Structure 1
Amino acid sequence: MAELVPDYFSAGWRTRALACPCGWEGDSRGMAMELHDQVTDYACPQCGNLLLIVTHPTLAQVRQAAAEGQAEAIEQLAIVEEARRHFPSGAEGRDG
């Protein structure tokens, strides 16, 4: 069964080692990644078994993490705010 990471900004999920029943071991950086609207799936590169599901952050979560000083969130928020300035009607995204 795949591990769910409900908080994108939680520490360590990218580097935490996972083991697949097929024998492969590694972290998300070595897995096959598939991007979806609300989540990103990470699968074993050897057999394709789904090992990790990471929920994409809402804009509110990005803002909160940025306010807490999380560097990646600060960068993401700057990108979102720049997009909103250039495309005010089309850059709302998930604002929840």
Structure 2
Amino acid sequence: MTVLVENYFQVDWRSRTLECEACEWRGDSRQMSLEPHEDLSEYLCPRCEDILLVVRHPDMDQVRAAAAAGHPEALEQLALVEEYLQRAQD
């Protein structure tokens, strides 16, 4: 069964151990193959390539909310976006 992560910042999805129903491989996202897309990323079983995990990319409202709550990764992402926008204005 594919696990869907709706809110990138609220779940520690990277270290969650998943089991592939097709081939019984077990591991976390760091061991899976990554297939990035515009709005989400798919993580595939490294053995049989079944999709085990789908993570929706955060929108700016989610990044801002998580940054305001002190989430370290959100703070980094927000700083990068703000830097990019500032350079675009210059």
> Normalising by the residue count of structure 1, what TM-score does the alignment of the two structures yield?
0.89
8 Å CA contact retained: 2:5, 2:11: no
8 Å CA contact retained: 2:40, 2:57: yes
Q: Which moved more, 1:73-82 or 1:4-13?
A: 4-13
Aligned length: 88
The whole-number CA distance in structure 1 between the counterparts of 2:45 and 2:68 is: 34
Could you tell me which runs of 5 or more consecutive residues in structure 2 were left unpaired when the two chains were aligned.
none
Runs of 4+ in 1 over 6 A off after TM superposition: none
1:67: Cα distance to partner? 0.1
Q: Which amino acid aligns with 1:78?
A: A
8 Å CA contact retained: 2:44, 2:50: yes
Q: What is the SS of the residue equivalent to 2:54?
A: strand
CA RMSD across the alignment: 0.8
Q: Which amino acid aligns with 1:9?
A: F
Identity %: 50
Structure (1 or 2) with the greater helix fraction? 2
> Normalising by the residue count of structure 2, what TM-score does the alignment of the two structures yield?
0.94
Could you tell me which runs of 5 or more consecutive residues in structure 1 were left unpaired when the two chains were aligned.
89-96
1:10: Cα distance to partner? 1.6
